[in-house]
Amino acid sequence: LPLQETDREDFLRFAGQTGFSDSQMQLRAIEQSAQLLGATRERLEREHGEKSRMAVGLGAMGGLLLILVFL
């Protein structure tokens, strides 16, 4: 699977918390898991943006290098 170890642990932790007989406790567990997933999503979106900018920069530098080599 393309999941990291922390993603698997978060999923298994959530799956283990769904056995509460009290609906309020189960709702809190679901909300807490949703907050963890939201934080992970935000972190991954930031990383994706940084990697995209780096790829564009490397592509431009590679193009400039080819121009210099062919001249």
Name which residue leads in pLDDT, 25 or 64. Answer: 64
As a whole number, mean pLDDT of residues 38-60 equals 89
Cα four-point dihedral sign 38, 40, 5, 3: positive
pLDDT tens digits, one per residue of 23-40: 777 778 778 878 888 888
Based on DSSP, count helices (H) and strands (E) in the chain, helices before strands.
2, 0
What pTM was estimated for this model as a whole?
A: 0.56
Name which residue leads in pLDDT, 45 or 15. Answer: 45
Q: What angle do CA 62, 66, 67 make, to 5 degrees?
A: 120
pLDDT tens digits, one per residue of 10-23: 777 776 666 666 77
Instruction: Output the pLDDT for position 43.
Output: 87
